[in-house]
Amino acid sequence: MSDDSITPATQLRVGRLTKAHGLKGAIKLELFTDDPGRRFVPGAVFTLQVPTSSPWHGKTIELVELRWYNQHAVGFFKGVPDREAAETLAKAILWIDQDSAEQTDEEDAWYDHQLVGLAVVRDGVQIGTLTRLEHLPAQDLLIVKTANGEVMIPFVKAIVPSVDVTAGIITITPPPGLLEELPDEPDTDETDAVEPAADPESPEQAATPTPDGQGA
């Protein structure tokens, strides 16, 4: 069970721990910030969003060092001495405390409260209003209230190409079937495909003439 209530509006999501790296407690990171040199400095403390069953639930974690291996960010954290400990943090989401009045210039970085209430628009037409976000280990979801009820939209660039907080608009390009049910395809019953009856007048059905010119 995930705990989505531990992240107040004054916190900013900056990363997700993905999996252990090596044997010395290092953990691969998926970064949600354009400025890791500012956010991920030695001594930086992060609030952890983890399932309630996790031994890390309700705790924070301190960064010792951020390194890069083959263009992948890898973090070393205080209290994570080996691979076994690192594996207990897989899929944890990292949040930092920040003054909610401070404006961030980082691309694709918003506070939840900045997005809640924005109009959700498809093809220039508003289809609903964002009511909340759900931050799950695999991906984030936008919960949108529409005329037909709530729908969940994956918060990924391919489906949510634009967020304009100033204009109050979230633009979506959902694939077919995400917001409405696709029509059922007609069933094809092979038993209905009956061969046409032979035409006795067809040349192909005419009797083969015998050598004396008479029909067989």
Closest CA to 48 of 71, 85, 17: 17
Cα–Cα distance, 79 to 156 (Å, whole number): 32
Which tops the pLDDT comparison, 149 or 76? 76
pLDDT value for 137: 65
pLDDT tens profile 157-185: 889 999 988 899 999 998 887 776 545 55
Cβ-count burial 96-115 (b if 16+ within 10 Å, e if not)? beeeeeeeeeeeebebbeeb
Model confidence pTM above 0.85: no
- Tell me whether the CATH fold assigned to 11-97 matches the one assigned to 112-171: no
pLDDT value for 64: 95
Q: Residue 195's pLDDT band (boundaries 50, 70, 90)?
A: low
pLDDT value for 216: 46
CATH superfamily of this structure's domain 11-97: RimM (2.40.30.60)
Length of the chain: 216
Which tops the pLDDT comparison, 139 or 75? 75
According to the CATH classification, is domain 112-171 in 2.30.30.240? yes
Domain boundaries, the chain: 11-97, 112-171
